[in-house]
Structures are given as C-alpha cells and as structure tokens.
C-alpha cells in the first residue's frame, strides 16, 4: 500500500510529512529509551544530578525559577508517583509513536485516523497533566503533537484523493476492456 507517486516527485507537503513522521519516530525512540533508563536509574541519582546542577549555578540563580522547577521536579520524581507516571508515559508514548510512525510511513490507511485519535488523546492528557503539575515540557510535547495531527490529516486527505482517482481510473480501464 504505497503512494502512486514516485519518490522523485515528492512535493513540499510530502517532504514536510516525511520529516514530521521521522521526527516523531526519533521522539518515540528517545521516549522509549528514556522510559527504559528511568526504570534502572535510582531516584537518588536523579535528585543528586538535579542538586549538582542547581548548586553549580548551571541554571542561573539557585533560588531562581528554573532551579526551583528542577528541584521540585526531582523531589516529586524521587517520591515515587511521578517516577511511575514518567516510566509508564514514556514507554507507552514511545511504543505507540513508533508503531504509528511505521504504519504512517507505510501509508496504511487505518493508521491515519487512528494516529489522529491517539495523538489527540495524548494532547488532552498532556495539557491536563501540565495544568495540574505545572510542567514546562508537557505543553511543548502537546504543541508538537498538534502540529503532527494537522500534517497527518492533510496527508490522509491527499492519500484518499489519490487512491480514489486511481480506483476510478482502474474502473474506467476495466470498463473499456469489457466493451
């Protein structure tokens, strides 16, 4: 199930779509690896790293906003609930993204609406979680997911038009051969 277009004739929209799903694939791979790493890295190592960053003024003033966010995040992470959430979130998000990227790259038609639904659910959850935890990174992930959703919808519509045109041509050719 590939596109009727030859790879050399890819337009700007096609290149942007391929770039976006490649970016999502890299993102999914990084999230999967991050989830696996968080499973084996002890929480004390995370809080120790955060303290080192803060005490060496790598984020500016140790009492500044960034330093306080990092210290709060590391403390919440070591507490357990955030760590478990992060592990499950990263593993699930990474695996789902990699599966969707594979299906989208292969132009499997059902993957387009499924991808929109799954990514939309991630966006809703990321925004909800960001509001409740004051996360800095979750809104960034949500914005990237929204951009990918737009590209997936555009590519799906274009692919449906192409496949509809191809099917019409095949029917016309078959009809003219039967006459």
Lookup: tokens for 2: 């590939």
Residue 80, pLDDT score: 66
Q: Where are the domains of the chain?
A: 14-163
Q: How far apart are CA 162 and CA 150, in angstroms?
A: 19
Q: Are 102 and 80 in contact (CB under 8 A)?
A: no
Q: Per residue of the chain (179 residues), give pLDDT as tens.
A: 444 444 445 577 778 888 888 888 998 999 999 999 989 988 888 888 877 777 776 666 777 777 777 777 777 777 767 788 888 888 988 998 898 889 888 888 988 999 899 889 989 998 998 898 888 888 998 998 898 899 889 889 988 988 887 666 666 666 666 65
Q: How far is CA 122 from CA 6, 145, 165, in A?
A: 33, 8, 34
Contacts of 123 (CB under 8 A, 6+ apart): 142, 145, 146, 149
- Is pTM beyond 0.85? Reply is no
Residue 1, pLDDT score: 44
Residue 127, pLDDT score: 93
């Amino acid at each position: 199930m590939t596109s009727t277009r030859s790879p050399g004739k890819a337009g700007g929209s096609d290149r942007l779509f391929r770039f976006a799903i490649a970016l999502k694939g890299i993102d999914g791979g990084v999230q999967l690896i991050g989830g696996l790493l968080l499973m084996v890295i002890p929480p004390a190592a995370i809080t120790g790293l955060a303290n080192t960053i803060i005490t060496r003024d790598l984020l500016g003033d140790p009492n500044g906003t960034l330093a306080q966010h990092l210290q709060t995040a590391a403390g919440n992470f070591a507490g357990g609930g955030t760590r478990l959430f992060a592990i499950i979130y990263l593993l699930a998000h990474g695996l789902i993204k990699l599966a969707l990227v594979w299906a989208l790259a292969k132009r499997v038609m059902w993957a387009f609406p499924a991808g929109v639904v799954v990514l939309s659910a991630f966006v809703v959850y990321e925004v909800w979680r960001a509001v409740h935890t004051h996360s800095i990174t979750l809104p960034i992930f949500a914005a990237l997911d929204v951009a990918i959703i737009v590209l997936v919808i555009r590519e799906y519509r274009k692919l449906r038009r192409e496949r509809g045109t191809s099917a019409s041509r095949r029917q016309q050719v078959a009809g003219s051969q039967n006459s």
